[in-house]
């Protein structure tokens, strides 16, 4: 086994290898930055609903619920409250759970108001719900 010596010859030779530690450190920092910022970029999806052309629905005697941009509910053409809507959906479910429900929501209607209709209908076992859109 050899013993290392501290001769002058060992210190005078220039180092011929590149130190890659700082390069690896920078690359790891950049990787972390990209991993943190990438999900933030995908959450900025701007939507304007509804503006699609759909097939004509031929349901017989559907329940038509409308949600205005102010968040008001209409049963057909009658202005109703949340409690009245829930009671009427419960009555509809008691008679026919397969009855079609047409949900007409304004493009600027609060999403919470639209989801309230969906949750209430689901609570009473009504699953035949369709969104009504205007043709382009």
* Model confidence pLDDT, tens digit, residues 60-86: 788 889 898 888 899 988 889 999 999
pTM confidence score = 0.58
Question: Do 72 and 22 reside in the same domain of the chain?
Answer: no
Distance CA 66, CA 54 (A): 18
Check pLDDT > 90 for residue 36.
no
Counting the structural domains of the chain, the total is 2
Question: Do 70 and 107 reside in the same domain of the chain?
Answer: yes
Residue 29 lies in a domain: yes
Residue 29: pLDDT band by 50, 70, 90 thresholds? very high
Residue 19: pLDDT band by 50, 70, 90 thresholds? confident
Question: Do 79 and 125 reside in the same domain of the chain?
Answer: yes
Number of helices (H) and strands (E) in the chain: give both, helices first: 4, 5
Residue 32 lies in a domain: yes
SS3 per-residue string spanning 73-96: EEECCEEECHHHHHHHHHHHHHHC
**Residue 37, domain extent:** 8-42
Distance CA 115, CA 129 (A): 12
């Amino acid at each position: 086994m050899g013993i290392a010596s501290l001769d002058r010859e060992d210190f005078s030779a220039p180092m011929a290898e590149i130190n890659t530690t700082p390069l690896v450190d920078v690359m790891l920092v950049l990787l972390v930055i990209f991993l943190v910022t990438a999900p933030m970029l995908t959450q900025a999806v701007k939507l304007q609903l509804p503006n699609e052309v759909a097939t004509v629905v031929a349901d017989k005697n559907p329940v038509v619920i409308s949600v205005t941009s102010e968040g008001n509910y209409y049963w057909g053409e009658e202005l109703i409250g949340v409690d009245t809507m829930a009671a009427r959906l419960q009555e509809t479910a008691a008679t026919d759970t397969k009855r079609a429900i047409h949900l007409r929501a304004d493009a600027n209607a609060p999403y919470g108001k639209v989801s309230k209709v969906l949750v209430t209908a689901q609570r009473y076992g009504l699953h035949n719900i369709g969104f009504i859109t205007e043709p382009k």
